[in-house]
């Protein structure tokens, strides 16, 4: 978990013990219905987005959650915010590194409070 995610947020509430975020898939895009387009675990280099699709359950508003993105074990960026979605559902997040996706091994980690919910590795292939 990135150090920046460890700082308390005003109005934050702790996640209930049964709250969960569950990984579904990675994809290059999302269609109008919110479904993944071109899912996979290996993608071409470029400045496109990588989407992470997931479901969640039992998460009340104002629980802090974090998504952190790494390339070759070096933190690239991410965000910690207070949960503002419904208590249960399905959704996605995305990330574009400042320099675009260069070839290498990447990982996204998702936390609920300080509890790791999932980590998913993917590869960006050259050319």
Domains of the chain: 3-125 (2.60.40.2550)
Instruction: Express as a percent the part of the chain with pLDDT over 70.
Output: 94
Q: What is the pLDDT at residue 8?
A: 73
Mean per-residue pLDDT for 92-96? 96
Helix or strand (DSSP H, E) at 108: strand 104-112
Q: Which residues contact 83 (CB under 8 A, 6 or more apart)?
A: 59, 60, 61, 62, 63, 64, 65
- Res. 3: pLDDT tops 90: no
Q: Cβ(83)–Cβ(25) under 8 Å? A: no
Mean pLDDT over each residue of the chain, to the nearest integer: 94
Tokens of 107: 């990982």
The radius of gyration of the chain's CA atoms, rounded to the nearest angstrom, is 15
- Res. 92: pLDDT tops 90: yes
Residue 46, beta-bridge partner list:
101
Q: pLDDT band for position 24 (50/70/90)? A: very high
């Amino acid at each position: 978990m990135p150090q920046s995610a460890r700082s308390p947020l005003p109005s934050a509430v702790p996640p209930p013990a049964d709250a969960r975020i569950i990984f579904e898939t990675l994809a290059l895009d999302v269609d109008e219905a919110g479904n993944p387009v071109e899912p996979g675990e290996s993608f071409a280099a470029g400045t496109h987005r990588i989407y992470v699709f997931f479901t969640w359950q039992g998460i009340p508003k104002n629980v802090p959650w974090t998504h952190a993105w790494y390339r070759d074990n070096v933190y690239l960026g991410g965000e910690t915010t207070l949960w503002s979605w419904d208590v249960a559902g399905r959704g996605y997040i995305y990330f574009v590194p400042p320099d675009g996706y260069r070839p290498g091994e990447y990982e996204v980690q998702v936390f609920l409070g300080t509890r790791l919910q999932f980590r998913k590795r993917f590869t960006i292939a050259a050319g």
